Chain A
Amino acid sequence: MKELLTQSVFFGVVISLLCYRIGLWVKKKTGWALANPLLIAVMIIVSFLVLFDVEYETYQNGAKYISFFLTPATVSLAIPLYRQLDLLKRYPKAIVGGIAAGVLTAMVSIFLMSLAFGLNHEQYVTLLPKSITTAIGIGVSEKMGGVATITVVAISITGILGNIVAESICRLFHIEEPIARGLAIGTSAHALGTAKAMEIGEIEGAMSSLSIVVAAIMTVVSVSLFAQFIP
């Protein structure tokens, strides 16, 4: 049995797809933001691998074919951004100004807290891209010498938290303009936050999904500068 698994190319693919389906099902049944299909799938797969003493390499043997599509999928993010370009032209100042302020806040706050916690360079750059979409965050983390898998964990925590607190934060801090709300949610909590923004309203949703890619591109540029601050 174990030998078969070790040689199988499809094992990693099938277990990934199957567990994601289970994650989607749990999400649909419970409706909780915490029931994130990606995290559920990963937890089941890790438990399975540990329980049956299957090596990570065995899983990766097939699963690497899934990751193959990561770059093409990230390239494809240009398509939704292109469709929203009209919005960007209509409110250029608020969008660019708001997102730039948010990205700068991310860089400065993560830098200061990393300094306070005494993190080393590797740990610091692992956290720098934590508010952007996973596809781009993984690339940024790897390129700067961080641990991409831990970046994914931080990105997931960020997204789930953003999704849960978005409405209360907007109310508490009197962020009332729908455009400002969307930008705030998308810039801080990427796609998982955007799911909440879409529930709040149409303008919020559109602005939030626009912010995902714009914030990510601004972050790529800023990270290359900020990464040097903790050598």
Chain B
Amino acid sequence: MKYIRQLSVILAISFVAELMEYLIPIPVAASIYGLVLMLVGLVTKLIPLEKVEGAADFLVEIMPILFIPPTVGIMASVEALKEMLLPLCVISVVSTILIMVVTGRVAQAIIRKGRAKAEGGAET
């Protein structure tokens, strides 16, 4: 019964998220509204962690399986994929490496700057 109760909370939030997607005229998917709602609920303690924990962990764990049907849908989009296969590969490879380098270097610069400041402050 515990899992049913936890799942009910998650499904109820998903439903409210669907309503928001329908009512709010900006292009944001229901799942994003739901994620933010859930996070706000947890942070404000309106939703205690133990009321959703077990079922949520299960859903996150099986997530790769949930991607199988949409990915098999590629069968229906083979032509569209062929058309953009080269740009898709080039863009995926180049942007992934760029993002990794920029994120890492920027984060590292911020960390080291903060550390230098803290050490400088300790000396004076």
Compute how far the CA of A210 lies from the CA of B14 in the bound complex, rounded to whole angstroms: 22
Query: Is the contact region of chain B dominated by helix, strand, or loop, or is it mixed?
Result: helix
- Evaluate contact between B87 and A188: CB separation under 8 angstroms: no
Q: Given A81-B39, A113-B91, are A16 and B70 also a contact pair (CB < 8 Å)? A: no
- Residue A73 at the chain B interface, CB threshold 8 Å: yes
Given contacts A49-B75, A149-B76, contact A94 B111 (CB under 8 A): yes
Of chain B, the residue at the smallest CB distance from A207 is: B107
Count of A-B contacts judged by CB separation below 8 Å: 312
- Write out the residue numbers on chain A whose beta carbons fall within 8 Å of the beta carbon of B11: 72
Closest to B84 in A: A123
Contact of B52 among A17, A37, A79 (CB under 8 A): A79
B32 close to A139 (CB less than 8 A): yes
Checking B29, B56, B96 against A143 with a beta-carbon cut-off of 8 angstroms, the contacting residue is B29
Determine the chain A residues whose CB is within 8 A of the CB of B14 once the complex forms: 71-72, 75
Interface residues on A, range: 35 or more
Residue of B whose beta carbon sits closest to that of A57: B76
With the chains together, A136 CA to B36 CA distance in Å?
12
Question: Could you mark each residue 19-34 of chain A with 1 if its beta carbon is under 8 Å from any beta carbon of chain B, else 0?
Answer: 1100000000000000
Q: Which of B29, B62, B81 contacts A150 (CB 8 A)?
A: B81
Q: Return B13 CB to nearest CB of chain A, in Å.
A: 5
Interface range on chain B: under 10, 10 to 19, 20 to 34, or 35 or more?
35 or more
Convert B48-64 into 0s and 1s, putting 1 for each residue whose CB lies closer than 8 angstroms to a CB of A. Answer: 01001101110110111
A139 touching B29 by the CB < 8 A rule? yes
Q: Is A165 an interface residue (CB 8 A)?
A: yes
Docked-complex contact B68 and A150, CB < 8 angstroms = no
Interface residues of B in 76-122 (CB under 8 A from A): 76-77, 80-81, 83-84, 86-108, 110-112, 114
Q: Is there contact, CB below 8 Å, between B38 and A95?
A: no
* Contact partners of A165 in chain B: CB under 8 A: 96-97, 100
A119 and B71 within 8 A (CB): no
Instruction: Beyond A19-B68, A184-B100, list 13 extra A-B contacts (CB 8 Å).
Output: A38-B64, A67-B66, A78-B42, A82-B42, A106-B98, A109-B91, A109-B94, A113-B87, A136-B31, A138-B70, A139-B32, A153-B74, A227-B27
Residues of B participating in the A interface, judged by any CB pair closer than 8 Å: 7, 10-11, 13-14, 17-18, 26-32, 34-39, 42-43, 49, 52-53, 55-57, 59-60, 62-77, 80-81, 83-84, 86-108, 110-112, 114
Give 3 nearest A-B pairs by CB, closest first: A139-B29, A98-B107, A184-B104
Residues of A within 8 A of B (CB): 12, 16-17, 19-20, 37-39, 41-42, 45-46, 49-50, 56, 59-60, 63-64, 66-67, 69-82, 85, 91, 93-95, 97-99, 101-103, 105-106, 109-110, 113-114, 117, 119, 123, 126-127, 130-131, 134-136, 138-140, 142-144, 147-150, 152-154, 156-158, 161-162, 165-166, 169-170, 173, 175-177, 179-181, 183-185, 187-189, 211, 213, 217, 220, 224, 227
